[in-house]
Amino acid sequence: MNRAEPLVLGIETSCDETGIGIVRGRTLLSNTIASSMDEHARYGGVVPEVAARAHLEALQPSIEAALAESGVALADLDAVAVTSGPGLAGALMVGVGAAKALAVSLEKPLYAVNHLVGHIAADILDDQAPPLEYPTVALLVSGGHTSLLLVRDLTTDVELLGETMDDAAGEAFDKVARLLGLPYPGGPEIDRAAASGDNTAIPFPRGLSRASDMAGHRYDFSFSGLKTAVARWVELREAAGEQVPIADVAASFREAVVDVLVTKALAACRDYGVPRLLLGGGVIANRRLREVALERAAAEGVTVRIPPLSLCTDNGAMIAALTSELIMAGRAPSTLEFGADSTLPVTEIQVAESA
C-alpha cells in the first residue's frame, strides 16, 4: 500500500446522498454525489426507507461515474473507505455491504470511518486553503446533525463539546418551512423568504442559552422549542385573523438559529483558547450563517474556515480524505467485522482497526 500518497475510494450513504469520492493523498480526483432529495420532497423530510432504496440503485452507477471522472481503475486503489456511522442505519448498511464486498473482491484494505470526522477532513481537500491547523473548533450543521467539536488531531483526537438535544438545525429549517407553507428542503426556502424580512421583528427564543442552561448544556443545542415558538406565534396571528408576515417570521427564525450556532461556537473558541473555527455540513450553504459567523469571528480574532460547499454537504470524498489521512498516519485497516452504527460517537474516528 502506498502510504505516502494513498489512492482511496470513499463510500458515503449515511443519509440521502450516495457519495463516492476518490482522492490521492490530499488531492481530490472525484466527488460524485447522487441525491434522493427530490424523492423526499413530497414527504417534507428524509424518509429512511426511501433513502436506503435509492442508495442501492445509485451505488454502482456512482462508483462507475467517479472512476470515469478520475481516470482511475479499481485495481489501482490502495484502499476502500466507508462511513460506518453515525446516520440512518438502513442507509448506512447499503454502503457497508457494498464496501466490504468491493474490498474483498479487489483484495484491498478497508477502512470504516466516522461520518462527522469526515466532515472535518473535507477541509483538507480544499487546495485553495492553507493547511488545517490544530487545535480547531468545528461546527457541523446539517439536516442530520448539529455538533460542536474540538479537533486536536484529525486522526487521533476529536472531542464532542456539544450537540443538538432534539432536532438538527437543518431539520428545524425543514419543519418551520413546512408550517409556513414553504416546500422542502426548508433551508433555501426560508432564506428566500427571509430576504425581504426584518430579522429583529420577532424575538424568538434562543434554545439552551439561558444562564440556567449554560451549566449543563454550554455547547449543546435545542431547536424544537424554537420551532414550537414559531408555530405558536403564527397560530396566534391566524386566530386573530391577521396576515402572517412570512418574511419577518422566516428572517427572525433564521436569525435565532444562526445566533445560537455562532454564539456557542465562538464561546467554545474563547473557552478553549482556540482562535480557529471550521464550519461543515449542508446548512453551511446558508448565506446568513456564513455571514454572521465570519463577522462575529473576525471581531473576536477567530479565523473561520469553510470548505467549498460541494464538500460541505454529505459526500464520499470526505470519507476518502479522512481515510487517506489515517493511512498516511500509519493506521492499520479495519477488520471485516464492523457494522453500521447509527449513533457512532465522534471519538471513534476509525472503527474496528485491526490489531
Partner 1 sequence: MILGIDTSLGSAVAVVEPDGVIRSEARSLDPRGHAEAIGTLLERAMAEASVTPSDITHIAAGMGPGPFTGLRVGVAAARAFALGRGLPVVPVVSHDAVALELLLHSALTADWGFVGDVEDGAAETFAVVTDARRREFAYTLYRGIDDDGLPIRVAEPALVPRDELDAVLAAAGAKRREADRIPAAMLALAAARALSAGRTVGPDDALYLRSPDVTLPHAPKRVNLPAASGRAANGRSAAAAPPAPAVRGQDPA
For partner 1, what does the binding mask look like between residues 307 and 336, x meaning CB under 8 A?
-----------------------------x
Q: Residue 27: which of 57, 1, 5 has the closest Cα?
A: 5
Helices (H), 48-158: 48-70, 89-106, 115-121
For partner 1, what does the binding mask look like between residues 63 and 92, x meaning CB under 8 A?
xx---------x-------------xxx-x
In the list partner 1, Zn ion, none, the entry touching 142 (Cβ below 5 to 8 angstroms by class) is Zn ion
Buried b / exposed e along 304-322 (16+ C-beta atoms within 10 A): bbbbeeebbbbbbbbbbbb
Write out the three cell numbers for 29. 480526483
Interface size with partner 1, residues (CB under 8 A): 63
Q: Given the complex with partner 1, which of 250 and 302 has the nearer CB atom? A: 250
Q: Residue 308: which of 350, 328, 280 has the closest Cα?
A: 280
Is 146 near Zn ion (CB under 5 A)? Answer: no
Q: Given the complex with partner 1, which of 55 and 217 has the nearer CB atom? A: 55
Using an 8 Å Cβ cutoff, are 164 and 223 in contact? yes
Regarding beta strands 157-163 and 146-153, do their DSSP bridges make them parallel or antiparallel, or are they unpaired?
antiparallel
For partner 1, what does the binding mask look like between residues 122 and 161, x meaning CB under 8 A?
----------------------x-----------------
**Per-residue DSSP letters for 191-205?**
HHHHTTS-TTSS---
Q: Given the complex with partner 1, which of 178 and 290 has the nearer CB atom? A: 178
Identity at 195, one-letter amino acid code: A
Is 142 near Zn ion (CB under 5 A)? Answer: yes
**Interactions with Zn ion, residue window 294-323 (CB under 5 A):** 314
Q: To the nearest whole angstrom, how small is the minimum distance from the Cβ of residue 216 to partner 1?
A: 24
Write out the three cell numbers for 147. 455538533
Question: CB pairs under 8 A, 24+ apart, for 35-44?
Answer: 37/185, 40/16, 40/184, 41/183, 41/184, 41/185, 42/184, 43/184, 44/174, 44/178, 44/184
Task: Kindly tell me which residue out of 26, 37, 45, 245 binds partner 1, with binding defined by CB under 8 A.
Answer: 45
Distance (Å, rounded) from C-alpha 120 to C-alpha 123?
6
Distance (Å, rounded) from C-alpha 84 to C-alpha 174?
26
CA separation (Å) from 26 to 59, 196, 227? 24, 41, 40
For Zn ion, what does the binding mask look like between residues 100 and 139, x meaning CB under 5 A?
----------------------------------------
**Interactions with partner 1, residue window 98-117 (CB under 8 A):** 98-107, 110
Task: Kindly tell me which residue out of 113, 234, 318, 322 binds partner 1, with binding defined by CB under 8 A.
Answer: 234
In the list Zn ion, partner 1, none, the entry touching 45 (Cβ below 5 to 8 angstroms by class) is partner 1
Q: Kindly list the residues in this chain that would bind partner 1 in the complex (CB under 8 A).
A: 40, 42-50, 52-53, 55-57, 59-60, 63-64, 74, 88-90, 92-107, 110, 144, 171, 175, 178-179, 181, 184, 228, 231-232, 234-236, 238-239, 244, 336-340, 342-343
